[in-house]
Structure 1
């Protein structure tokens, strides 16, 4: 039976009228920005008391709640809001053991293609699939490696919608192949499976999806089973990012430093992975406010890239001078000293970075720098460059939040409102 009122549209409309971001609404209601995003896209259905709490924040009258529901056919979860600290702790603990958070029920039934079309979230099908991988038959290691490499190419080209549709089948096939293999073939299959989960975690992280915890944890388990140092390092990186996102910055730095210390800095491939761990550790330290550690790690990474040849074939992150500069700009933003990054940004030739995803990351950090410096026009110019490099990148939750902050800030920038509507930062 169809519903007469679209709960997501009501909440989104009230939030936009109030001129607050999803993160700001979530902070006031005791929930995450990603949860607010799923509520507005009708993938989370609130119980009545939780709805009253959101209504109170947004100024929605209780009588307007009558008849609120979820459109027919939507794939949703039903949750009750609780304090953000409690919710994060419970979800992390249960997600890492492969169990859905208490009080939430996943309804699986909509096809992943249709779900993505409704929500615009490339990680939609991935979230469902991680808890119930589709049935799959083993395949040859050569074919599995080829498909995993294709997933890596899709990520590096920022084709997130294509990647989100392909990942459930890839993860299923990789798991089946690993389970059917023995001896060295099993170790090889474990390494490929680890890399498939790494790219899944990277996609989930971009969408601020809780699936990142599951994918990163499984990536590291598979990588350790393979015994190969490069996949172990790559999996450690994505797991550390999930830790940082949950506020555990010092723990993330410790994990990354420990894993970096296990890698041979003199060999090209292990040395390159070590450099990416140092860069991620530096940004994690900066996010935690530790300036001394952040800058020291950045300097160490810079010395590494001077000594080692540039390596092709790392899974999603490169180790070169340009990446050191991009991470330095990001770290200085996180430390609250964006002015120190202006000279670095001026000398950074982003066009020479090899992948669309990394170029978009560089323009994103540049946009954040200009936004922190109060230059709305430069911020918008950088956001436009993100869109030019990777149209799907600019629709990520973090980029939409930045666009929304700029839109509702004091500066008036020509063309910004149209950009916000086009990229999903402004509700229609």
Structure 2
């Protein structure tokens, strides 16, 4: 495979993982959808500034780019302006990789002039700081605080504290025995679940690592609720990498292993079914998606939600929010309009869930071609969670509005404010 083809395959994989269309990528980076298609197929080369821009927008890490781009950097430089010496190619390679790090730092979730420097989870999870054991009650309290940061969409702050929190949880587990070890494994699993959730927000491959480690710790704890939480994160990573069928298989198996008569376990089971329904929908398996949605709705109606335990609550409102996203993914967003009309987003319990619900509604209206309603929903996302609206997928949705056929007042200012375009 030539350099252009390798780079194209990398770009296409990142775009699909982020659930973006070629039109959205093109709008954000100044290309037509057909040009993006030719780039992804290796039929069209790009110069290194353009590759830098594409990589930053698609959240391609330096290590990923190095694996594909460096072997063919001579070819990339040639596209830009003729053959260059090996020394010049090495300089351009360093410029490109340095540039992607800098550009990616501004594209990360929650990055902005007033936020702390973002943490690269791809690196942090493999190079955790030295951790010291802490008393279990204090560790549990620290994880609860981190979870509140996630629910409040304080992603930059969460990213800063997670590596040390995970290291402390691992050190505590390593010196614990008996029941205390089980509880420490539960704490470690939940800290890795938070890392996986944050990585999924960032469209980072670190989600795979965090979810796998979360599941290992959860199984060691012997606590079914933790196993369900970790399995859900692993399935989301599978889905984002283009394996929706495998994700559905994992989720339905784990749901079947849980006892629905126990409220906390039953609540996790409901969230597994909801995630399974959306995973099936992304694979255009309408029958499975709707069947899992129906089962999740029945579960939510049969037992009360368990407040404060999960980042996704098993409620009727949550079922409706998922139903909107499922119907949009299945290509029938018109069926979600009535669901959106009855959904009382303001009464959802956390900023993260409210912002996610408005995101689902924005995608629904966007799929229906209603730019004003799409923009109105995106504004609600920003009101609930300013860091949420800077996620790669939402920036792409914003740029789609900015360069789309319908002019909507305020979109350009919104795009500049939320990082979708340079201000």
Aligned to 2:10: none
TM-score, normalising length: structure 1: 0.80
1:14-53 equivalences under 5 Å are 16-18=29-31, 27=40, 35-37=55-57, 46-47=69-70, 49-50=72-73, 52-53=75-76
CA distance in 2, matches of 1:323, 1:283: 13
Aligned partner of residue 309 in structure 1, secondary structure: coil
Structure 1 residues 427, 144: CA separation in 2 closer, same or farther (over 3 Å shift)? Answer: same
CA distance in 1, matches of 2:186, 2:402: 44
Report deviation, 1:418.
1.1
CA distance in 1, matches of 2:155, 2:406: 32
Q: Is residue 186 of structure 1 aligned with residue 181 of structure 2?
A: yes
TM-score, normalising length: structure 2: 0.81
1:172 to 167, 170, 181: 167
Structure 1 residues 219, 39: CA separation in 2 closer, same or farther (over 3 Å shift)? Answer: closer
CA distance in 1, matches of 2:72, 2:264: 54
Report deviation, 1:26.
7.5
* Cα RMSD for the two superposed structures: 3.5
Structure 1 residues 318, 180: CA separation in 2 closer, same or farther (over 3 Å shift)? Answer: same
Q: Is residue 233 of structure 1 aligned with residue 246 of structure 2?
A: no
Q: Is residue 344 of structure 1 aligned with residue 323 of structure 2?
A: no
Moved more, 347-356 or 44-53: 44-53
What do residues 52-97 of structure 1 show as CA deviations (whole Å, max 9, x unaligned)?
Answer: 45995xxx545899864657995978xxxxxxxxxxxxxxxxxxxx
- Structure 2: tracts of 5 or more residues without a match: 1-24, 44-50
8 Å contact 2:235–2:250 — kept in the other structure? yes
1:25-424 equivalences under 5 Å are 27=40, 35-37=55-57, 46-47=69-70, 49-50=72-73, 52-53=75-76, 60-62=80-82, 68=92, 124-424=119-419
8 Å contact 1:21–1:405 — kept in the other structure? no
Report the structure, 1 or 2, having the larger helix content: 2
Residue-pair matches, total: 379
Report deviation, 1:369.
0.4
Question: Which of structures 1 and 2 has the larger relative contact order (alpha carbons within 8 angstroms, sep 6+)?
Answer: 2
8 Å contact 2:358–2:377 — kept in the other structure? yes
What do residues 369-404 of structure 1 show as CA deviations (whole Å, max 9, x unaligned)?
Answer: 000000000000000100110000000111111111
Structure 1 residues 62, 200: CA separation in 2 closer, same or farther (over 3 Å shift)? Answer: farther
Report deviation, 1:124.
3.1
CA distance in 2, matches of 1:28, 1:119: 39
Moved more, 332-341 or 418-427: 418-427
CA distance in 2, matches of 1:280, 1:213: 16
8 Å contact 1:368–1:379 — kept in the other structure? yes
8 Å contact 1:25–1:33 — kept in the other structure? no
Aligned partner of residue 173 in structure 1, secondary structure: helix
- Structure 1: tracts of 5 or more residues without a match: 1-11, 78-109
Report deviation, 1:186.
0.7
8 Å contact 1:29–1:54 — kept in the other structure? no
Aligned partner of residue 259 in structure 1, secondary structure: helix
Structure 1 residues 13, 343: CA separation in 2 closer, same or farther (over 3 Å shift)? Answer: closer
What do residues 20-48 of structure 1 show as CA deviations (whole Å, max 9, x unaligned)?
Answer: 79987974569999944377897856427
CA distance in 2, matches of 1:218, 1:63: 46
8 Å contact 2:136–2:184 — kept in the other structure? yes
CA distance in 1, matches of 2:169, 2:99: 26
Structure 1 residues 303, 54: CA separation in 2 closer, same or farther (over 3 Å shift)? Answer: farther
What do residues 308-342 of structure 1 show as CA deviations (whole Å, max 9, x unaligned)?
Answer: 01211323111100000000000001000000000
Moved more, 34-43 or 320-329: 34-43
Aligned partner of residue 18 in structure 1, secondary structure: coil
